[in-house]
Amino acid sequence: MLFLFSSLQSVHLDTGKKYTLRIRFDPAYKDDLHIRTIDEVLHIRYKEHPHVDYIALRGEVYFPNLEFEKSVMDFGCILNDTEVTRYVNITNNSPMVVKYR
């Protein structure tokens, strides 16, 4: 379960009273280190009325991910005593600074 609730039981609220429902998001539900956004909806139903309230839930998981333009770098046949240089573009597709080596 991505979103965890402190209580899934029925709640009785007297007039003017408040109830705090704790909602937790578990970003470790997948450990594949990929960036993702999870959208779900919390449905609040009434015992004595057909009306349903909704609360949109969103959880975002970010990792310092880099995207490489090429997955293979072919240097071809190189003569002895020569040098070949190739370049690959790297894009930071995460919303955070990435430090790499």
Q: Give counts: helices (H), strands (E), the chain.
A: 0, 6
Q: Average pLDDT by consecutive 10-residue portion of the chain (101 residues)?
A: 74 89 88 88 90 94 89 91 93 87 82
Strands, DSSP E only, in 35-89? 36-46, 49-61, 66-68
Residue showing tokens 């609730």: 5
CA pair distance 20, 1, nearest whole angstrom: 20
The pLDDT of residue 1 is 61
Q: Is the separation of the CB atoms in 34 and 65 below 8 Å?
A: yes
Domain boundaries in the chain? Answer: 3-61
Q: Which residues pair with 40 in a beta bridge?
A: 57
φ, ψ of residue 4 in degrees (nearest 5): -110, 135
Radius of gyration of the chain measured on its C-alpha atoms: 25
Comparing CA positions, the residue from 14, 37, 31 lying closest to residue 94 is 37
The pLDDT of residue 33 is 81
The pLDDT of residue 60 is 92
